[in-house]
Structure formats: structure tokens, C-alpha cells
A and B are shown apart, each in its own frame.
Chain A
Amino acid sequence: MLLENAKVLISDDSILARKQLKDLLFDLGCTNVFEANNGQVAIDTYMSEKPNLVFLDIVMPVKDGIKVTKEIIEFDSDAKIVIVSSVGTQKHLREALEAGACEFIQKPLNLKNLKKIVESMI
């Protein structure tokens, strides 16, 4: 699939983190981007929009990124979820992958790393 045709969901409680990720995705050609500012909104948006790729923060209000991953995978076992977090401990990494996430990116973001991941997923 072409990057410009892909639907991407970004879920992070920080408006800055969402903007920065969205800017990077725009640079890569992904312009069809949805945003969620907490875990529950992320789940609701996933169900209504069925995005091709999801970026989730771990530390979020209402529902954390690991719980959201589990619920989205229950709904759609083919969902492609990337966890983007500053809390990249082995424990979190393991939990994220066990919950069904495909990738884990340690913040701060870098364009090269992000590009590699996005291109391998879409």
C-alpha cells in the first residue's frame, strides 16, 4: 500500500508528542492521520476508522497503551500497533509484545527509525 493512502492513528495524551509524530508522518507522505488523547478514545477511533497503523503511548490517562493494545487486538487480531514510549524497560517491551504490538519505539523519536518501521508495516 502507498503511504499516502494509509490511515494512521496516533494516540498520546501530549498534544506536542502527537504534533511531532504527525509532522514526521507528513514528511513521509502519510497525511491521513487521526488523533486520540487518551486510551479509550484510541479504541473508539480504531473501531470507527479501522486505521492501517496505530501509534500508542504507554503512559496515558483513562487506559494505558498496553490495555489499549489488548482491546484493539481482541477486536482485530491483524491490527498493526507500534508502541512509542519513553518508558522502554524490558518489562514494558515484553508486555507490549505479549499484548500484540508489532514494534516498540523508545522516545525521543527519530525520523530514520520511524521511516524504517512505517515502511515495513504499510
Chain B
Amino acid sequence: MYTQFFGNFILNKGVITPEQLIDAISYQKATHLKLGTLAIHYGYMTASEVESIHIMQTHVDKRFGELAIEQGYLTPEQVNELLTSQKPNYLLFGQILIDRKYITNAQFEELLAEYQAQFKIQDIDFIHATQDKYSDLITSFYNFPGTEEQKEKFVNYLNLFFSNLLRFIGEDFTPLHAAAFPEYPINFCVSQDITGSFSATTALDMNHATAIAFASRYADESFEEFDEYVSASIEDFLNLHNGLFTVNMSNDFDIELSLNPPEIKQERILTYPSMYFIPIIFPFGTMNLIFTIELT
């Protein structure tokens, strides 16, 4: 999840545009991490040292590791360690931004240091990342109104939602910040009401092309046109996610909730007194997670 939020972090720094972010997300699957990116991450080399090796590589046909050892920037042991280390995926994301010339090595070095410091990310987090750590990350990105108890529920809800996206859809997404609007014009919108100890409306909204791609991944099918299976896939995903949320609420907080069947919204504009939405960018399009917050 640190990878997904790294995109949000960089975007909010104003260093890249949303178009560049989408472009980088779509390259994620086909790219491998380079030694220079890893060396910066582990603090073994500075951005300018990496830059100088890259320049050398335009003159001599030698590998990055070889040249870095020759220049005394890295020891053979360090090269070996970098090649075998656990690699957090947001490094890959940063590298794509560098390769696409959206940011420089020096900017990456700075952003990386800031991101890791702000969210207290140590390497151990990637290997043993726990749901608690993700909760901390989500809490720092999303500041909702309400009591501590209410906030905890939103964080739980979002934590599970992003985990379910990772589990059922894929890693190549970036969640943006939440926005509050009294009215929201919808495209294709599936909603589900949660009732019981507290009540909320949850919804997913996207255009048809995004729905086709999202549904294809979820159902593991190759849908080509927008039909009832595509629609059912989106409903099914929302229902599955909300179902797992009610299970968590019951097991962890003794809160009993019920779900209404998911429905496709017919009205063109959603209106709720307290409605938030979070855009989530995938390479195939943007989906909005919409939810109401009951503050009574």
C-alpha cells in the first residue's frame, strides 16, 4: 500500500501532473528496478554519483555495478546485497518517473527521503507490513470529521477497501485525496447501503470503459462490451468488500451491520448531506469510491 500512496504523495508535491502519474502507473508492470535506484534508496550512493555512472555508461560498455565498484562508490558486497534485497515497489514507481523524464534523480532522492521520514517507513515494513501500519498511513492521508471512534471506522473501511483492490484487482493504482461535495454527477454508479449500529451509503462510480476493464480483472474474464456481467462484477466487488467489512466490524468491534442488495443508481446526480469521494487512478481509468458519513 506504500507504493499506491507514493503516487498520491508525489502528485501532491506538485512535482508531476496527473497525466504523468497515469502514464507512470501503466508502465509499472513492465519495468524492473535498476541498481542505481536501489543504491539511492539504501543510501549507498547519492543521486549525482548515480548520474555520473549513467554518463560513464554512455562511453563504456560496462554494467552499473561494475563501474560503481571501480569508482569506489559501492563495494562488491554492497552490490550483492542490493541485488538480493527486498525491494519496495514504490522505488520502481520512482524509477519509472525518472525514466520517463518527469523527475530527476536528485528530486527522487529528496522525495524518497521525505516520504520515508514522514510515514516512518523502514525496510522492515515491507517484509512484515501489518494492517496497523497501513492504518497509520491511511490516517495521515485522510482526515475525516467526527469522533475518534468514527474516524477509526473510516480508516478501517478504507484500509480494507485498498487491500481488496490489491487482492482482487491489482497493484497498479493510486488513491487520491478525499473531497466532500453535496452533489455528485454520476457515470455508471453502483451503490450499497449499510444499515444497523450505524448506517452509510457506499458507491463506486466510473465510466463504461473503466467498468469493463475493472470487471475483466475482478471476474478474470475478457469483457469487451458493457453488459450485465460487467455491471454484476462491479456490484459483486462492492458487495464482497462491504460483506468483509461487516465481518470485521462484528469480529473486532461487536458492531452488527446488515447490507441491502447493491443497486445501480438511476438518478444522474447523487445528493447526500455528507458525502465524500476518493478518486482512484488505474492505468485503464479512474474510479470514484463514494461514501456518506453519518455524524449523528
Binding site for B on A (CB under 8 A): 13-17, 19-20, 59-61, 85-91, 106-108
State whether A16 touches B247 (Cβ < 8 A).
no
State whether A88 touches B235 (Cβ < 8 A).
no
Cα A61 to Cα B261 in complex, Å, equals 6
Binding site for A on B (CB under 8 A): 168, 219, 228-229, 232-233, 235-236, 239-244, 246-247, 250-251, 256, 258-261
Residues of chain A contacted by B236 (CB below 8 angstroms):
14, 16-17
Q: A16-B219, A59-B260, A59-B261 are in contact. Are A86 and B232 (CB under 8 A)?
A: no
17 more CB-based (< 8 A) A-B contacts, given A59-B260, A87-B243: A14-B236, A15-B229, A15-B232, A16-B219, A16-B235, A20-B219, A59-B259, A85-B243, A86-B239, A86-B241, A86-B242, A89-B247, A89-B251, A90-B250, A91-B250, A107-B243, A108-B240
Q: A59-B261, A85-B243, A107-B240 are in contact. Are A15 and B250 (CB under 8 A)?
A: no
Cα A106 to Cα B247 in complex, Å, equals 10
A66 to chain B, nearest CB (A): 11
Residues of chain A contacted by B232 (CB below 8 angstroms):
14-17
Q: A59-B259, A91-B256 are in contact. Are A86 and B243 (CB under 8 A)?
A: yes
Residues of chain B contacted by A15 (CB below 8 angstroms):
228-229, 232
B-side binding surface: helix, strand, loop or mixed?
Answer: helix
Closest B residue to A17 by CB, please name it.
B236
Residues of chain B contacted by A106 (CB below 8 angstroms):
247
Closest B residue to A108 by CB, please name it.
B240
Cα A108 to Cα B242 in complex, Å, equals 13
Residues of chain B contacted by A16 (CB below 8 angstroms):
219, 229, 232-233, 235-236
Cα A106 to Cα B259 in complex, Å, equals 15
State whether A87 touches B246 (Cβ < 8 A).
yes
State whether B228 touches A89 (Cβ < 8 A).
no
A82 to chain B, nearest CB (A): 16
Residues of chain A contacted by B239 (CB below 8 angstroms):
14, 59, 86
A-B CB contact pairs (8 Å), 14 listed: A14-B235, A17-B232, A19-B229, A20-B219, A60-B261, A85-B243, A86-B242, A87-B247, A87-B258, A88-B247, A89-B247, A89-B256, A107-B240, A107-B243
Residues of chain B contacted by A87 (CB below 8 angstroms):
243, 246-247, 258-259
Residues of chain B contacted by A86 (CB below 8 angstroms):
239-244, 247
Closest A residue to B227 by CB, please name it.
A15
B112 to chain A, nearest CB (A): 36
Closest B residue to A85 by CB, please name it.
B243
Cα A17 to Cα B228 in complex, Å, equals 12
Closest A residue to B168 by CB, please name it.
A108
Closest A residue to B219 by CB, please name it.
A16
